[in-house]
Amino acid sequence: MSRIGTRAEYHKTRWKTVMWKDDCPFCDDSRIENTLIHTLKFWKIILNKYPYSWQENHLMAVPIRHIQFVDELNADEFSELPEVHKFAKEFFEKDGQKHYFSATRETMGNRSVEHYHMHFIPGKMQGKYIRCMLENQGFPIDAEVKIQK
């Protein structure tokens, strides 16, 4: 497998500009071959080269067909989602992780790769972690978040 990079390295790459279908790294197998760990009929599962979690076991599930938004999934792609989640669960259990969380990435023309993808990240989703993850993606959070009861 190729070396995993940091989010700081990610922000220095050309990925700071949006990558559209004609330059999509998820569609070009030669660009993901070192991170591809599982292929289903309609989905690829890869290691995130620039993980939010600073761990090498941050997975991404990417539909093989290039789409931008979740509502573009066809019936076959949608019906295979339980297998995607099953793979993620078994992957993290083999790595000794009892918990993981998933997040969907729909970029809406402003960041990253314009190819729908899902993140599977080890651990539990916690407030401080979410804040740090968002800040590391370039979304500054200026105000303290207050939870009302």
pLDDT 10s digits, 36-84: 999 999 999 999 887 765 667 889 999 999 998 999 999 999 999 999 9
In a domain, 111, yes or no: yes
Q: In angstroms, how far is CA 14 from the centroid of its own chain?
A: 18
In a domain, 79, yes or no: yes
In a domain, 146, yes or no: no
In a domain, 18, yes or no: yes
Say whether pLDDT at 149 is over 60.
no
In a domain, 108, yes or no: yes
In a domain, 145, yes or no: no
Give the CATH number of the domain where residue 40 resides: 3.30.428.10
In a domain, 64, yes or no: yes
Segment 81-139, tens digit of pLDDT: 999 999 999 999 987 888 788 878 666 555 578 889 998 988 766 656 666 666 665 55
Both structure tokens of 36? 């591809």
In a domain, 148, yes or no: no
Domain that holds residue 16: 7-136
Tell me the residue ranges of DSSP E strands in 51-145: 59-63, 100-105, 117-122
Both structure tokens of 53? 């979690």
Higher pLDDT, 140 or 84: 84
Tell me whether strands 36-39 and 100-105 are parallel, antiparallel or unpaired.
Answer: unpaired
User: How many CA atoms, within 13 angstroms, populate the side-chain half-sphere of residue 54?
Assistant: 5
Tally of domains within the chain: 1
| 27-31, 103-107, 137-141, 145-149: the lowest-pLDDT one | 145-149
Q: How far is CA 104 from CA 30, 52, 53, in A?
A: 24, 13, 15
